[in-house]
Amino acid sequence: MPTALELRGVRKTFDGFAALTGAHFSARWGEVHALLGENGAGKSSLMNIAAGLYAPDSGELLVDDNPVRLSGPRDAARHRIGMVHQHFKLVKPFTVAQNILLTAPPAAEDRTHGQRLRRITREIAMRAQAIGFDVDPGRRAESLSVAEQQRVEILKVMLAGARILILDEPTAVLTDQEARSLLQTMRHLASEGAAVVLVTHKMADVKQFADQVTVMRGGRTVATADPAQVSVAELVRLTVGATSSEATRTEAGKAGASGDVLLSIRGLRGASSSGRPALDGVDLSLRAGEIYGLAGVGGNGQGELAAAIMGLPGALEGEMHLAGHGDLRATPAPERRGLGIAAIPADRYGLALAGALSVAENFAIGQAHLGSYGPAWRLDRRRMEREAGEAVAAFNVQGVRTMRQKAALLSGGNAQKLVLAREFGKKPRLVLAHSPSRGLDVRAGAEVHARLRAARDAGAAVLLISEDLDEVLALADRVGVMTRGRIVGEFAQPADRQAIGQAMVDHG
């Protein structure tokens, strides 16, 4: 049988930086092929070439053993290649059906736009049910949670007819049950002859669902193996280039007894951006010196709760009382930073960083509005760049050649570390971390986790919101479950994983 997708000797540079140097990859029809590597290893760059987003500087791309030169994503789609990106590409004002309609092929029976939209709506409902996704075709993309946007992107590629599916961190924001259902669907598609490329950092997904695994490091391909024949420890060693004890999630930190209540939330109610009820009487107490892990299926109010704490616009009822300050609801977002509230949003490029601005500007933006670098019309850019450089070094942000480099050029893990450098630059009292290691590799995720533990150990209250139950169980001192806009259960550590999962299901 011909090879579905092959890349040979691929080289790609960006602004003089070599992202790929002689990389190669090969996936066969009928298999799930995992692609592992640290952030910045070149995985996404290589797959973006396969999807037609980038043109290689040199090397070959073959589909069905035939060399092809792709002129763009539409050309890739004609070769039945579809990619679900880690950072979503939805048109926010459009509905789910309208977004999928943009890439779905027309049908002979479609005579009007309305007929085509109705057909797509039916197909979305049918495919979503088959996968186990709860997706409303009529909802606008801007009203969807990160997890819901992920589901739409997966449906969009599948309904476009792709037989070579490239999924970049597809389970990063899914619960255990959703991830298992999705990956079982991918296995089913492979069994029917499709080729599935799974870009992931989750070793369990590789071991359980992949037929082959390729490891990249530093822009090169270092190994391809059968996951059944190689240990997790060996995969980690190939990924990071040295033996690592971080083959699995670390256990929750051993902090001492937590302190006084720092943030008290009572009866919090509010609507999503689409106007639908999102928060339905949230009661939550965060104590100094603890990590409170909030688990649950995405789209159950976690995003709205995070927005409420960050101070993003939205009508709220209830109380958010910060010790030593009072009710937070009337306090603007910039002033909350002055109160010691640090935020790590789920959408790091949409809410935490401005990709077109420099590394120094992104670092300084949190304090510039307070006049820390002088008046807005005469900022002390030398000081900005000096302090940004110190923070970049302290937080081990890789890939920064100059403080004037655009933040958009950083890999996902290093972009997240830049956010951490800014948010933890001043000792925070309260840390909001929403899916902080989403899409990160083992090493980058471990560094993020270490920073959260350090903040907790320094006395901060940390609210960890994550759809990754492994992450919650590894970090949290207490665990809550959020469903349908309210917290339906709390668990002391060590928490029973099955009991947490049952709480999600019972109230789902």
- Mark whether 415 and 454 lie in a shared domain: no
Is 246 inside any structural domain?
Answer: no
Nearest to 150 by CA among 209, 76, 83, 87: 87
377 and 501 in a single domain? The answer is no
**Which residues make Cβ contacts (< 8 Å) with residue 13, sequence separation at least 6?**
19, 57
Nearest-angstrom CA–CA distance, 438 and 415:
12
Is pLDDT above 90 for 267? yes
- One domain for residues 10 and 94: yes
- The count of domains in the chain is 3
Residue 396: its pLDDT value, please? Answer: 84
pLDDT at 256 over 70: no
Is residue 347 one of the residues assigned to a domain? Answer: no
Lowest pLDDT segment from 3-17, 50-64, 136-150, 494-508 = 494-508
| Cα 208 to Cα 211: distance, rounded to the nearest angstrom | 9
- Out of 111-125, 163-177, 221-235, 432-446, the most confident range is 221-235
Q: In which domain, by residue range, is 371 found? A: 353-425
Residues 100 and 176 in one domain: yes
Residue 245 lies in a domain: no
Note whether 279 and 214 are same-domain residues: no
174/414 Cα distance (integer angstroms):
23
| Cα torsion through 232, 439, 163, 55, rounded to 10 | -110
Q: For the segment 181-202, what is each residue's pLDDT rounded down to a tens digit?
A: 788 888 988 998 999 999 987 7
pLDDT (tens digit, 9 = 90+) per residue, 344-386? Answer: 998 888 888 888 899 998 888 877 666 677 777 788 888 888 9
- Tokens read off for 131: 């996968």
Asked if the peptide bond before residue 494 counts as cis, ω within 30 degrees of 0, the response is yes
Are 334 and 385 contained in the same domain?
Answer: no
pLDDT at 273: 64
Report whether 210 contacts 34 (CB < 8 A). Answer: yes
| 245, pLDDT greater than 70 | no
Q: What is the mean pLDDT of residues 296-307?
A: 85
Determine the average pLDDT of the residues in 198-219.
89
Is the model's pTM score more than 0.85? no
- Which of 425, 452, 477 lies at the terminal end of a domain, its last residue? 425
When pLDDT is averaged across residues 62-84 and rounded to a whole number, the result is 93
**Residue 250 located in a structural domain:** no
pLDDT of residue 35: 95
Residues 318 and 292 in one domain: yes
End-to-end CA distance of the chain: 44
Does the residue 348 lie in any domain? Answer: no
Rounded CA gap, 383 and 372, in Å? 10
pLDDT at 235 over 50: yes
For the ranges 8-17, 79-88, 214-223, the one whose mean pLDDT is highest:
214-223
Model confidence band, residue 173 (pLDDT cutoffs 50, 70, 90)? low
Judgement on whether residues 70 and 189 belong to the same structural domain of the protein: yes
For residue 3, what pLDDT is reported?
A: 92
Per-residue confidence (pLDDT) for residue 189, from 0 to 100 = 86
Q: pLDDT grade, residue 76 (50/70/90)?
A: very high
366 & 333 share domain: no
CA distance 506 to 508: 6
Q: Point out which residues pair with 464 in neighbouring strands.
A: 293, 433
Name, in order, each residue with C-beta under 8 angstroms of 382's C-beta and a sequence gap of 6 or more.
Answer: none
CATH of the domain at 274: 3.40.50.300
The mean pLDDT value for 84-107 works out to 86
Question: Where is the domain boundary, 425, 450, 470?
Answer: 425
Please report whether residue 346 resides in a domain. no
Does pLDDT of 255 surpass 60?
no
Three-state DSSP string of 133-181: CCCCCCCEHHHCCHHHHHHHHHHHHHHCCCCEEEEECCCCCCCHHHHHH
Task: Return the pLDDT at 250.
Answer: 41
Give the residue-averaged pLDDT of 462-481. Answer: 90
**DSSP code per residue over 215-234:** EEETTEEEEEE-GGGS-HHH
Q: Over the stretch 107-129, which tens digit does the pLDDT of each residue have?
A: 767 778 888 888 899 999 988 88
State whether residue 394 is helix, strand or coil. Answer: helix
Q: Which whole-number Å values give the CA distances from 149 to 107, 139, 248, 252, 468, in the listed order?
A: 25, 11, 27, 30, 16
- Same structural domain, 435 and 502: yes
User: Are 419 and 434 members of one domain?
Assistant: no
Is 371 inside a domain boundary? yes
**Domain end: 240, 273, 289, which one?**
240
Do residues 268 and 212 both lie within one domain? no
Which positions ≥6 away from 192 have C-beta within 8 Å? none
The pLDDT tens digits for 33-67 are: 999 887 678 898 999 999 999 999 999 999 999 99
- Overall average pLDDT of the 478-502 stretch: 86
User: Is 58 within a domain?
Assistant: yes
Q: Are strands 58-63 and 220-225 parallel, antiparallel or unpaired?
A: unpaired
Strand 3-14 and strand 58-63: pairing?
antiparallel
